[in-house]
């Protein structure tokens, strides 16, 4: 029975992995196909032959480099400040004692239950009153605060051993020294995990950049991909769209591969327990 359960578990995992990677592989194949190959019947799952014209169209039709750098700038800055502020807040909730701490933390948790779409209209009015519409500030500032990051870092710091910090306090270390030189270096896995989530979410963001940007100078890559339609705005250029989506996906895949060791370590360990 145990062997059957193990085999069944592996089978489910493999089927789940295949169901997730199959759409990406299909998108990759379509990015090298002509329209005739894409809509042929019976469908072709492999380009015959491989045609890189769709990628040439992507880089010639829109300034991909500019949009790519815009997305990279917004995602990078948002990730840095999200990790910094969430780590500081999480450490305060885990180690500090102050009035109404649990109530304030509960409010942070409640914000995680509010759908992002609910905040779009009031947030847009705030950006308008600050004259930040069509600026980098509107793309970056709303994303550097989040309840999920505070919750994740608070849980990590709560599970860390306090002996090292207590010894540092006896030696006269301040709260800032404890945080930046002891607690933060000991939480690399949690920091990288939060950074991965934040970067991927910001990089793939479409609705908010679409609403607050008008100038092509600060347009992000996901918004730019919506331009891959015919002049009549009715026919989707699937080959170009898939090629652009591959360009969009490449940094996310690279970032995840670079940080997966810390991400898996975070899942397995869950912090240094007392």
**Domain locations along the chain:** 52-269
Mean per-residue pLDDT for 148-159?
88
Structure confidence at residue 267 (pLDDT): 52
**109 and 166 in contact (C-beta within 8 Å)?**
no
* Torsional sign, CA 83, 86, 91, 92: positive
Mean per-residue pLDDT for 22-30?
87
- 70 SS3 class: helix
Domain 52-269 matching CATH 3.20.20.80: the answer reads no
Whether pLDDT at 268 is above 60: no
**190 and 266 in contact (C-beta within 8 Å)?**
yes
Q: In 10 A of CB 2, how many CB atoms? A: 6
**Residue whose C-alpha is closest to residue 129's, from 185, 71, 212:** 212
Whether pLDDT at 202 is above 80: yes
Percent of the chain with pLDDT over 70: 92
The more confident residue out of 227 and 148 is 148
Percent of the chain with pLDDT over 90: 21
Q: Tell me what the pLDDT averaged over the chain comes to.
A: 84
Structure confidence at residue 274 (pLDDT): 47
**pLDDT, tens digit, 9 for 90 and up, residues 75-128:** 999 999 999 999 999 998 988 888 888 888 888 888 888 888 888 889 999 999
Contacts of 190 (CB under 8 A, 6+ apart): 152, 153, 156, 266, 271
Mean per-residue pLDDT for 174-199?
87
Q: Which range has the worst mean pLDDT, 27-41, 46-60, 134-148, 231-245?
A: 231-245
Whether pLDDT at 231 is above 50: no
Structure confidence at residue 273 (pLDDT): 46
Whether pLDDT at 48 is above 50: yes
Range 113-136 burial, b when 16+ CB lie within 10 A, else e: eeeeeeeeeebbeebeeeebebbe
Whether pLDDT at 165 is above 90: no
Whether pLDDT at 237 is above 50: yes
> Is the link from the previous residue into 3 a cis peptide, with omega within 30 of 0?
no
Contacts of 105 (CB under 8 A, 6+ apart): 93, 150, 154
């Amino acid at each position: 029975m145990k062997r059957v359960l193990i085999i069944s578990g592996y089978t489910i995992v493999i089927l789940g992995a295949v169901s997730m990677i199959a759409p990406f592989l299909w998108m990759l194949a379509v990015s090298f196909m002509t329209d005739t190959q894409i809509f042929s019947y019976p469908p072709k799952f492999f380009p015959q032959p491989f045609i890189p014209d769709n990628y040439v169209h992507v880089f010639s039709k829109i300034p991909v480099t500019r949009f790519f750098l815009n997305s990279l700038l917004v995602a990078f800055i948002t990730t840095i400040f999200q990790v910094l502020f969430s780590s500081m807040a999480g450490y305060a909730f885990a180690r500090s004692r102050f009035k109404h701490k649990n109530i304030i933390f509960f409010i942070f948790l409640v914000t995680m239950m509010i759908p992002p779409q609910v905040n779009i209209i009031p947030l847009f009015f705030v950006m308008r009153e600050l004259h930040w519409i069509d600026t980098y500030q509107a793309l970056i500032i709303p994303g550097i605060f989040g309840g999920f990051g505070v919750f994740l870092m608070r849980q990590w710091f709560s599970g860390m051993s306090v002996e090292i910090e207590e010894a540092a306090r006896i030696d006269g270390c301040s709260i800032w020294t404890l945080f930046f030189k002891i607690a933060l270096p000991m939480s690399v896995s949690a920091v990288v995990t939060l950074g991965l989530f934040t970067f991927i979410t910001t990089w793939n963001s479409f609705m908010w950049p679409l609403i607050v940007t008008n100038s092509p100078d600060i347009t992000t890559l996901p918004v730019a991909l919506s331009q891959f339609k015919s002049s009549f705005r009715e026919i989707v250029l699937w080959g170009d769209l898939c090629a652009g989506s591959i360009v969009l996906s490449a940094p996310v895949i690279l970032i995840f591969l670079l940080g997966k060791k810390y991400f898996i370590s975070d899942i397995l360990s869950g912090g240094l327990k007392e």
